[in-house]
Amino acid sequence: LHDALPILISTASMSWGRRLSGTIVPLASLAIAFLIAAMGDPAIAPNMIYMSSPTRMMSLSLGAFLAYLEAAGERPQTGTSILLVGFGLTVLALDNIGRALHFMPAGGYYWCVALVGYAALSFGIISLLTSSNNRWVLGMNALLSLPSVRYIGAISYGLYLYHLLILFLLDVAPYQTATTGTTLLKEFEALTLTFLIAHLSFKYIESPLIALKNRLHANEPTKIPWSSGRPNTELIRNRPSGRKNG
């Protein structure tokens, strides 16, 4: 799926790309999750669902759908985005209550329902942040635009990539907290080391590679596949190599 989706999106028409990213891939991902819950070992099905490529593809695909809307000059309505946030929070709350009261079936079904809640919640929040002119949303955008917060975003791939390794090296089991077997000191050490290594990785590995890529492709034309919802073969030259791309 990681390899196939970019190819499908790059070759599909605007309308089919929106169907793929906004409907087909998310529903297929959810169907695979329920299949794992129904047929997998209840002891490992939750982890299989959470860590599976289809689950990852659901969020990536919904992000692609938002990009399609932007390419077509459209934006989600503020009211719709707020309803999606409320729906996501409601689903997650009912899912947790159902598990606590033993209404939710054992195995991976809890995570299947949670996927729906997380998808609606994240899609609604990103829609609000990128398209709403509400003053509260604009205030949140200002907060997220702070250099320190933006830097966390810049090193976020390293935070994601290295945190499990650091937890392993510090002998802290994933999801273990001070109440279930570790200490606050170890938690602080793991957090500090994760940020430090992610920072070093971004500075000495990722940034040089990005700079090298920009130099190698500085004079290559960039194809803009769509404009106003129609195929567009216009070629726009990148900025001069002496300037940074936005």
Kindly state the percentage of the chain with pLDDT values over 90.
Answer: 28
Predicted TM-score (pTM) of this structure = 0.66
In tens, the pLDDT along 97-141 reads: 998 888 887 678 888 999 999 999 999 998 888 887 878 888 888
Rounded mean pLDDT of the chain? 81
Residues 194-226 pLDDT 10s = 999 999 999 999 899 888 878 887 776 554 444
Mean pLDDT within 28-50: 87
Question: Residue 234 pLDDT more than 80?
Answer: no
CA distance 147 to 239: 24
pLDDT (0 to 100) of residue 72: 84
CB-side exposure of 132: number of CA atoms within 13 Å? Answer: 20
Task: Indicate if the pLDDT at residue 18 is higher than 80.
Answer: yes
What sections of the chain are H helices per DSSP?
4-11, 14-19, 25-39, 45-51, 53-71, 78-100, 109-131, 135-144, 147-154, 156-169, 184-201, 207-216
Cα(62)–Cα(119) distance, rounded to whole angstroms? 8
Phi, psi of 58 (to 5 degrees): -60, -50
22-31, 56-65, 137-146, 214-223: least confident range = 214-223
What is the per-residue pLDDT across 41-60, written as a single tens digit (0 to 9) for each?
888 888 888 878 788 888 88
Q: Rounded to whole angstroms, how far apart are CA atoms 78 and 83?
A: 9
Quick check: 50 and 111 in contact, CB under 8 A? yes
